[in-house]
Amino acid sequence: MSPAPKVSAEIFQQLAGLFHRGDLSAADALARRLLIHAPENSDLWNVLGLIALRRGELGLAVERLGEAARLAPGDAGVQGNLGAALRAGGDLDGAEAVYRRALAVAPGLQALHANLANVELDRRRLREAEACVREGLKCGPPTASLLTTLGIALNLQGRLVEAAEALRGALTLNPGDYDACRNLGSTLAGMAQYEEAEDLHRRGMTLRPDNAAGYSSLLFNLNYHPDLSAEAIAAEYRRFDQTQTAGLPPPAPHANDRAPDRRLRVGYVSPDFSDHVVAGFMLPILAAHDKDQVEIIAYAEVRSPDATSRRIMGIVGGWVSTVGMSDEALADRIRADRIDILIDLAGHTTGNRLIAFARKPAPVQLTYFIGHGTTTGLSAIDGFISDRALTPEGCEPLFGERSIVRLDRSALAYVAAPQMPDVVPTPAMANGYVTFGYFGRSVRLNERVIAAWSAILAGTPGSRLMLNYASFGDPATAALFAERFARYGVARERLDLVFTSPQPATWAAYGRVDIALDPFPHNAGTTTIEALWMGVPVLTLAGRPSVGRMGAMILEPLSLHDWIAPDVDAYAAKAVAAAGDIAGLAALRVGMRERFLASPLGDAPGLARSMERAYRALWRRWCGA
């Protein structure tokens, strides 16, 4: 910021000092007074816009920064600030246009390349984001900001070793870089380096103790730690509730009409109402809801709506973009919308709005496991929606919600995408050997899992293991995991480390797998469902509720009880025994889809009815009926 005509350098420095010290009220008042005498001063409009941006007043920020940009079209810094405000409000097209105009003026400004990369990350255009960062790195010495953005782009591509290197470089340049710290923690978790990952997440929390998103990253990754007890993890979730929601004002009484049998206004809150697995599971439920009983409002933290988003918009009664809304503003909007039942679909995953839930904007608040699998830890949430397989009796102390809402059927249903290929015969019949497979994230592959899978391979002569995910398609990351298997005597040629993309190729790749292996203590979810739909039986270990029982939750409705193991020894023994019965595998495979469709897993309308019954019972309880 530099002083412009009619504003002395001394006064402008005073204004800048107020802003940088965080005294936004005083800075705003001074800038407004100065603007009376210098209405064409772009620097004043810029400061006022940044104040609004810092306060989360995004519409006002865009208005003020737009005026600053109009008055100073050649000032790349001002243009960049306008781009930041547009991106924060979810206008990615507008942000990109502004950043590209600014780069035309100042192609050597590294921060603009990083900002444009972040827009591409929001769109999940990962290679384009990487290219933007690398252009920025050509402009001068690397900065912590650029290396952090590069690390995020590489991580999302599955290039974990390179991502870790970039993020370590960022922390070398700036040890206090919160974003680098948090993202390096998540990257190392993906490499199953849980101890250092936890240390980095905790370090990030010391840098920004009031940042709930950083705490959420820690909690999300703790679930994968093989050496932590369920009780220890639950205690950390409760600490989140105690520390991150302390100081919030007590909620005002709700003014909702207490008629117990009227049509309910139900709000679903998610960052995943787009091309995401959560939307895939929710779409059939949303479509099957009885619109005479419930009116559905989608609260969407979606920066880049797509065709799936538009499908949801066409199903629900209302779509509210929450991008750019503060938690307070979102809670106020939900309360004003007179939502009766509010359901979280994200837990502690990226983009969650749990602090809005902590403000208790709706009379009945719930979380549905579909997007996160476990507790939120929030006492402001009245119930955790699940079933008896996922949350057996007695596990209540592991949940911070006020109750566990066990549906009267399986809490999951699945409608296969029409592009999914037909089931093919058991490949072992043609190959002469059995192929085991896992098509999920590498974060689940802890040392105990690798030891168990290595023992299974040792007990099944000639067998192979296919690991199929983005990180396994990256040569450096694949080599890291191959080395870990080698410590247990598994030769590299017995491992198929691949990444099949796009998605239809991954579904087709199940045609090369005879038996799918579910990791532990954090089971897979979507990949288990997809494997079964493709005819591949899945072996799971039922462990700690609830993330360690997702496999059991899926297999029990299919009456595949023999594929659920109580411990590691039984898990390995069942895998070896199943591999020795090729005829049994073939018979199971050919009838799997019919079994699936005849089960509760194939009945999305039934799940919608069950959820509605639960909503109505909870509503009637709140009404005192």
pLDDT digits (tens, 9 = 90+) for 351-389: 999 999 999 999 999 999 999 999 999 999 999 999 999
pLDDT digits (tens, 9 = 90+) for 301-312: 999 999 999 999
Three-state DSSP at 343 gives strand
User: Which pLDDT belongs to residue 3?
Assistant: 47
Q: What is the mean pLDDT of the chain?
A: 96
12 — pLDDT class (breaks 50, 70, 90): confident
Q: Are 267 and 299 in contact (CB under 8 A)?
A: yes
Q: In this model, does residue 2 exceed pLDDT 70?
A: no
pLDDT digits (tens, 9 = 90+) for 439-490: 999 999 999 999 999 999 999 999 999 999 999 999 999 999 999 999 999 9
Q: In this model, does residue 56 exceed pLDDT 90?
A: no
- Interval 193-205 mean pLDDT: 97
Block residue for tokens 């679930």: 223
pLDDT digits (tens, 9 = 90+) for 583-619: 999 999 999 999 999 999 999 999 999 999 999 999 9
- Interval 532-557 mean pLDDT: 97
364: closest CA among 607, 609, 623, 610?
623
What is d(CA 411, CA 368) in angstroms, rounded to the nearest whole number? Answer: 9
Which residues lie across from 515 on neighbouring strands?
A: 436
User: Which pLDDT belongs to residue 544?
Assistant: 93
What is d(CA 227, CA 500) in angstroms, rounded to the nearest whole number? Answer: 32
What is the three-state SS of 249-287?
CCCCCCCCCCCCCCCEEEEEEECCCCCCHHHHHHHHHHH
Q: Are 482 and 450 in contact (CB under 8 A)?
A: no
Q: In this model, does residue 50 exceed pLDDT 50?
A: yes
- Which domains can be identified in the chain, with CATH numbers? 264-413+605-623 (3.40.50.11380), 428-602 (3.40.50.2000)
Q: In this model, does residue 6 exceed pLDDT 90?
A: no
What is d(CA 331, CA 239) in angstroms, rounded to the nearest whole number? Answer: 22
Q: In this model, does residue 527 exceed pLDDT 90?
A: yes
User: Which pLDDT belongs to residue 1?
Assistant: 47
Side-chain half-sphere exposure of 239, counting CA atoms within 13 A: 13
Which residue did the predictor score with more confidence, 131 or 1? 131
Indicate yes or no: pTM above 0.95. Answer: no
For residue 214, give both structure tokens.
């950083």
Block residue for tokens 């199943």: 578
Q: Which amino acid is at 501?
A: S
Q: Percentage of the chain surpassing pLDDT 90? A: 94
pLDDT digits (tens, 9 = 90+) for 95-138: 999 999 999 999 999 999 999 999 999 999 999 999 999 999 99
What is d(CA 240, CA 69) in angstroms, rounded to the nearest whole number? Answer: 41
Q: Are 421 and 507 in contact (CB under 8 A)?
A: yes
Q: In this model, does residue 5 exceed pLDDT 60?
A: no
pLDDT digits (tens, 9 = 90+) for 135-165: 999 999 999 999 999 999 999 999 999 999 9
Core vs surface per residue 457-481: b (16+ CB within 10 A) or e: beebeebbbbbbbbbbbbeebbebb
Q: In this model, does residue 10 exceed pLDDT 90?
A: no
CA 295, 296, 299, 303 dihedral sign is negative
13 — pLDDT class (breaks 50, 70, 90): confident
208 — pLDDT class (breaks 50, 70, 90): very high
User: Which pLDDT belongs to residue 167?
Assistant: 98
What is d(CA 45, CA 53) in angstroms, rounded to the nearest whole number? Answer: 12
